[in-house]
A = this chain, B = another copy of it.
Amino acid sequence: MIDIKSFTRKWLPVVETHMRQTLSGGDTYSQGMWGMMRYHLGWEDERGYPDSAPQGKRVRPLVVLMSCQAAGSDPAQAIPAAAAVELLHNFSLIHDDIEDNSPTRRHRPTLWTWAGVAQAINAGDAMFTLARLALLDLSGGGVSDRRTLQAVRVFDETSLRLTEGQYMDISFETRTEVGVAEYLAMIAGKTAALLAASAQLGAIVAGADEERSGQYWRFGHELGVSFQIQDDILGIWGDEALTGKSAASDILTRKKTLPVLYALSQSNPANESLRQLYARTDEFSPADVSEILDLLAQTGAREHAEQVAEHHAQAALQALAATGGELEGTALLRGLAMQLLGRAS
């Protein structure tokens, strides 16, 4: 019997406490910067009063803790790593919001819109640093120096993959030609790297050797790729009522996601019309959107994307099975993966 809810209810408050402790510092003069970080996390409003704004789903810390259990240890040991990946994720959101010029996140003004770009860049840097400091707490909680250093290295290499993914994503916006392989490299960095590292870190804390922690990494990586492609499909064909975004929103914003890039890469008459539509710089009309959806249908773009997503979902489950981990933890990871991919477990 997998019970993700009980696991979440038991462990997320512990992660939250660790995050709050990590963010409770600062002297009189720099309180403003600490307040900015707490604002971004939804804990305080602009004036520093307690707030309980909607937060993320905390998927990454859950993956850390479930992997730690699956690899044979008490999730309690992995709390600092769980807090670290969530803070790293939030640091990247602060900077992404500036880079993408996004005015709102989770129904509130993004940090840069009220604190200004300069202070928001700097507060992001501070949160990046705090994520690393949270991770170092592993060594105080019974994890050996050797393992802590391994975790630090994985964390830093993952941070680098995130910046590479973000570099590609930003560059796609101003480029006309983007290949499918390049797109897959982008989501491997931007979406999958941190999910992969979360699974790997849980296993490292539990004492898994390189091969075994590599299987957890692969599980997270494949899950991340599959999840992102599925998100791309929903961005075009998703049900407005379920996704909360307007229908065909990724068409309207000209986002270069897998279905579109696949269609553009096909030698098919639809290809040329699509290319001409995407070469335009004015806003798409509802008629344009219908035409694009027709052209995508002619190239089989949706079916292709669904196949690729399914392929990576299967690869994730295979990698998870290959870990040979403890039963309950493995079942929790499997259940969480199914939830993420919008399937019944």
Asked if A87 CB lies within 8 Å of chain B CBs, one says no
Flag the segment in A129-137, A242-250, A315-323 that touches B: A129-137
> Which residues of the other chain, B, contact A163 by a CB distance below 8 angstroms?
33, 122-123, 125-126, 129
* B156 in contact with A129 (CB, 8 Å): yes
By the criterion of a CB under 8 Å from any partner CB, how many residues of chain A are at the interface?
47
The residue from B33, B118, B170, B182 contacting A122, defined by CB atoms under 8 A apart: B170
The residue from B25, B119, B133, B148 contacting A149, defined by CB atoms under 8 A apart: B148
Q: In A84-120, which residues have CB < 8 Å from any B CB?
A: 95, 98-100, 117-119
Asked if A4 CB lies within 8 Å of chain B CBs, one says no
Give Cα A171–Cα B100 distance, bound, in whole angstroms. 24
* A118 in contact with B99 (CB, 8 Å): yes
Give Cα A101–Cα B30 distance, bound, in whole angstroms. 22
User: Which residue of chain B has the shortest Cβ distance to A116 in the bound complex?
Assistant: B170
Asked if A327 CB lies within 8 Å of chain B CBs, one says no
* Given A136-B152, A167-B32, A182-B29; A99-B122 close (CB under 8 Å): yes
> Which residues of the other chain, B, contact A133 by a CB distance below 8 angstroms?
153, 156-157, 160
> Which residues of the other chain, B, contact A168 by a CB distance below 8 angstroms?
29-30
Give Cα A157–Cα B130 distance, bound, in whole angstroms. 9
User: Which residue of chain B has the shortest Cβ distance to A186 in the bound complex?
Assistant: B29
> Which residues of the other chain, B, contact A189 by a CB distance below 8 angstroms?
30
* A136 in contact with B156 (CB, 8 Å): yes
A residues neighboring B (CB under 8 Å): 25-27, 29-30, 32-33, 95, 98-100, 117-119, 121-123, 125-126, 128-130, 132-133, 136, 139, 145-146, 148-149, 152-153, 156-157, 159-160, 163-164, 166-168, 170-171, 182, 185-186, 189
